[in-house]
Amino acid sequence: MDTLNSPATLDDVTTRTTHNPQIAPQTPVEAHLTMPAQHLFKFDGRQIHKRAAPELWITPWLARLTTFGGGFLLTLYGGYEMYKVIDVGGVTTLKWALLGLFLLNFSWIALSFMSAVVGFILLLNKPVTPPTPNKLREKTAVVMPIYNEAPSRVFAALQTIYEDVQATGLGGHFDWFFLSDTTNPDVWVAEERAFIGIRRRLGPQARIYYRRREKNTGRKAGNIEDFVTRWGGAYQHMVVLDADSLMTGPTIVKLAAAMESDPDSGIIQTLPLIINRNTLFARVQQFAARIYGPVIAMGLSAWMGRDGNYWGHNAIIRIDAFARHCGLPDLRGRPPWGGHILSHDFVEAALIRRAGYAVYMLPTLGGSYEESPPSLIDVSIRDRRWCQGNLQHSRILFAAGLHWATRQHFLTGIFGYLTSPLWLMQLLVGIVIVIQASYLKPEYFTSDFSLFPTFPRFDAERSLELFALTMSILLAPKFFGLLAAIYEPETRKGSGGAIMLLISTLFEIVLSALLAPIMMLIQTGHVAQIIFGFDTGWDPQRRDDGSVPLIDIIRRHRSHVLLGVITLFAGMLISPSLVAWMSPTIAGLILAIPLSWLTSQRWLGLVFRRAGVLTTPEETTTPSIAKRGKALSKSLARAEEDEVNGVFAIHSDSELRAAHEAWLPIRKPRQRGVISADRAIAEAKLADAETIDDAVQWLNRGERIVALSDRALIGMIARLPKRLQTAADNTRAAE
């Protein structure tokens, strides 16, 4: 292990200098690791990890042959049928374009279909999950990166996971870290207050720590890198959580045991199930992930083998290997194509696999949960960031030393967003062909000698058969998931029985079909923005399950509705058959506002829940960890853990103020002549303030951050009175 200094004993966490020695430090003694940025296009094969055991190759290659070979043959067949459809009367340039776009889109669903076939077969064999071990040898850090999140949610989640791990009897092998990149001063102070609270609730024996970075360089990847370089030397593994993650104690212990028993493993990924969702949109996602997800995950796991992928959370990582091989370089150029790598998880998996460590999934481990965005608008905001990150991977696709399966992961991620503009282009080419047939005079006799004229025609009967084939391949993974759920007694009963499972599946298919054209336009817009150089920001994700205001829905979807109306009227003028052909797309666009608004409503989701539609086993019997986490989060929210004005809280709570000051880093003296405008203004405003209310009202966000980061300015805040002294106050004081 490449350490800058030998790891400290983890229990010895109080021997660290703070401004106030009476307050326990918020982090343990540092145990450094180096994490050099990797060169993507140069790789020395001598760096490859020497495997402790030979890797099995037969099973993944059989799955790969089935998935990719079957997908290729299906695509060839679909392409042949499409050629026959357009070959009637000759193939024009536009028809060739239509065929090419069809092949690209069809290959995507054919590959997904064959992967689901493999997953379905494997899932029916009922794979056995390993038992919970009764001992561990090594230390694991459990880290939760947070960024302007509601403290009541994230602190409740980590406390719940901590308690569940403690219940296994192996809690002594785990330390716990909140890794904050929070930039909101009120949330920062609320996090510190929540940290004091969790330490008070769990006692001094709980090794739970909190670190906030002042500059969130590198976003989430930089946050994790900061932890690895400062404390990674004290641990063999780390479990990475998201701000909405929940994992049971047995699952975390099993992951640690899997790492210990497989010294060649670099990353082991679980399959997180979506829970705790109530809006109709989120419940559709929750149902789909629960019913279709296991089939899809089993297929992925089978053909990926030990050349797998990493989804950024709910996974365990070997820290030493991660530090030596997964330092991310910045891409050349400016965002959105250059700069920090946004979808860092795929790249980290690629680099650790390049170094010879295995990356794989345990899809049947269970006990791994997450939440999902509550509305279509929230998904589109998240997708904008993911889209930019995945398209950045086009610059990494041909990096040196990558396994071919890794390149396939990159291609899958890139193509996942390019399918929307490709689908739109296929629709547009089809429309142009119909317009050509309806309005333009056909070239009856071409330059080639022919006794008969050439008409722009299609084989209608064959096109219907091809449409049926396409829809069957597209929907088959959903029905595989349905059949697997019916076959598994616990899932069937927990979802309301076979009939309700079928009803829920049909409802999900119809609603998803209506939402699909809206997402097509949204993702096409994302791709266009990135192509034209527009960067995404880094805003915190909305995680609450509340409804979206109608005005926001109208503002976001009015262009989609307008396009749907224009398409409808234009189609009626051109050809009624064109309207029939495009009716699902047109209907989805015209109904975009009511669909997006209704699906974002919590009350409607609860109506469907009471009716038993879209029910999942985790709703019928809530996992104990989810029940405990939800109750604790509500309790902390009622105690106003989140409702904090940072300046006022530091003024009024002496314990919080003392801890806050103690945890601030020791700063170098200011260089003469170098004056921060925010600090100078904050100091002037505090000097001019007569009460704490003045300070709260006058300081803007940037000035509050500066004031709360400076001990001298904190002292000025603390000395401000709550209100002005009146003559009556002075008289009473004299008496």
> pLDDT tens across 202-251, in order?
998 999 999 999 999 999 999 999 999 999 999 999 999 999 999 999 99
∠ CA 368-178-345, nearest 5°, is 55
Show me where the domains of the chain are located.
140-372, 646-734
Burial label, 490 (beta-carbon count in 10 A; 0-12, 13-18, 19+)? exposed
Q: CA–CA separation, 276 vs 563, rounded Å?
A: 35
The region, left, alpha or beta by phi > 0 then psi within -120 to 50, assigned to residue 332 is beta
Q: Say if residue 313's pLDDT is above 90.
A: yes
Mean pLDDT rounded to a whole number for the chain: 90
pLDDT given at position 666: 84
Give the amino acid at 347. Answer: V
pLDDT given at position 6: 35
Residues whose CB falls within 8 Å of the CB of residue 294, separated by 6 or more in sequence, listed in order:
119, 123, 271, 363, 364, 481, 484
**SS3 label, residue 547:** coil
Q: CA–CA separation, 613 vs 42, rounded Å?
A: 53
Eight-class DSSP state of 653? -
pLDDT given at position 499: 97
Q: How confident is the model at residue 639 (pLDDT cuts 50, 70, 90)?
A: confident
Cβ(436)–Cβ(94) below 8 Å: yes
Q: Which of the two residues, 334 and 580, has the higher pLDDT score?
A: 334
Q: CA–CA separation, 704 vs 678, rounded Å?
A: 9
Q: Which of the two residues, 259 and 87, has the higher pLDDT score?
A: 259
Radius of gyration, CA atoms only, the chain: 29
Q: Say if residue 57's pLDDT is above 90.
A: no
Q: CA–CA separation, 518 vs 377, rounded Å?
A: 11
Cβ(223)–Cβ(182) below 8 Å: no
DSSP string, 445-468: S-SS--SS-------HHHHHHHHH
Q: What pTM was estimated for this model as a whole?
A: 0.90
pLDDT given at position 322: 98
Q: How confident is the model at residue 92 (pLDDT cuts 50, 70, 90)?
A: confident
Eight-class DSSP state of 327? B
Structure tokens at 633: 């989060």
Residue reference for tokens 């998201």: 242
Mean of pLDDT values over 555-579: 90
Q: CA–CA separation, 357 vs 557, rounded Å?
A: 46
Residues facing residue 370 across a β-bridge: 274
To which CATH superfamily is domain 140-372 assigned? Spore Coat Polysaccharide Biosynthesis Protein SpsA; Chain A (3.90.550.10)
Q: Strands 174-180 and 208-212, how do they pair? A: parallel
DSSP string, 260-295: HH-TTEEEEEE-PEE-S--SHHHHHHHHHHHHTHHH
Largest CA distance in the chain: 120
Task: Find the length of the chain.
Answer: 735
Terminal Cα-to-Cα distance of the chain (whole angstroms): 71
Mean of pLDDT values over 92-100: 91
Q: CA–CA separation, 310 vs 315, rounded Å?
A: 8
Q: How confident is the model at residue 122 (pLDDT cuts 50, 70, 90)?
A: very high
The region, left, alpha or beta by phi > 0 then psi within -120 to 50, assigned to residue 496 is left
Residues whose CB falls within 8 Å of the CB of residue 174, separated by 6 or more in sequence, listed in order:
139, 140, 141, 142, 162, 165, 207, 252, 256
Q: CA–CA separation, 214 vs 194, rounded Å?
A: 19
Residues facing residue 178 across a β-bridge: 144, 210
pLDDT given at position 3: 37
Mean of pLDDT values over 88-100: 85
Residues whose CB falls within 8 Å of the CB of residue 666, separated by 6 or more in sequence, listed in order:
17, 19
Q: How confident is the model at residue 349 (pLDDT cuts 50, 70, 90)?
A: very high
Residues whose CB falls within 8 Å of the CB of residue 70, separated by 6 or more in sequence, listed in order:
110, 114, 117
Taking alpha carbons only, the member of 233, 155, 230 closest to residue 194 is: 155
Q: Say if residue 52's pLDDT is above 80.
A: no
Structure tokens at 587: 């209907």
Q: Say if residue 35's pLDDT is above 80.
A: yes
Mean of pLDDT values over 363-373: 95
Q: Which of the two residues, 53 and 162, has the higher pLDDT score?
A: 162
Residues facing residue 140 across a β-bridge: 174, 237
Helices assigned H by DSSP within 148-217: 151-166, 185-202
Q: CA–CA separation, 147 vs 79, rounded Å?
A: 47
The backbone torsions φ and ψ at residue 423, rounded to the nearest 5 degrees and listed phi first, read -65, -45
Q: Say if residue 378's pLDDT is above 60.
A: yes
Please give the helix or strand (H or E) that residue 315 lies within, else none. Answer: strand 315-318
Q: CA–CA separation, 268 vs 255, rounded Å?
A: 7
Mean of pLDDT values over 11-16: 35
Exposed e or buried b for every residue in 580-609, given b needs 16+ CB within 10 A?
ebbeebbbbbbbbbebbbbbbbbebbeebb
**pLDDT 10s digits, 384-408:** 999 999 999 999 999 999 999 999 9
**pLDDT 10s digits, 270-283:** 999 999 999 999 99
Q: Say if residue 533's pLDDT is above 50.
A: yes
Taking alpha carbons only, the member of 201, 159, 208, 150 closest to residue 629 is: 159
Q: CA–CA separation, 202 vs 166, rounded Å?
A: 11
Q: Distance of CA 694 to CAs 647, 682, 697, 711, Å?
A: 11, 12, 5, 19
Eight-class DSSP state of 69? I
Q: How confident is the model at residue 33 (pLDDT cuts 50, 70, 90)?
A: very high
Residues whose CB falls within 8 Å of the CB of residue 464, separated by 6 or more in sequence, listed in order:
none
Q: CA–CA separation, 384 vs 523, rounded Å?
A: 8
Taking alpha carbons only, the member of 285, 534, 513 closest to residue 387 is: 534
Taking alpha carbons only, the member of 205, 158, 181, 207 closest to residue 28 is: 207
Q: Torsion angle, CA of 64/409/286/245, rounded to 10 degrees?
A: 120
Q: CA–CA separation, 78 vs 73, rounded Å?
A: 9
Q: Say if residue 586's pLDDT is above 70.
A: yes
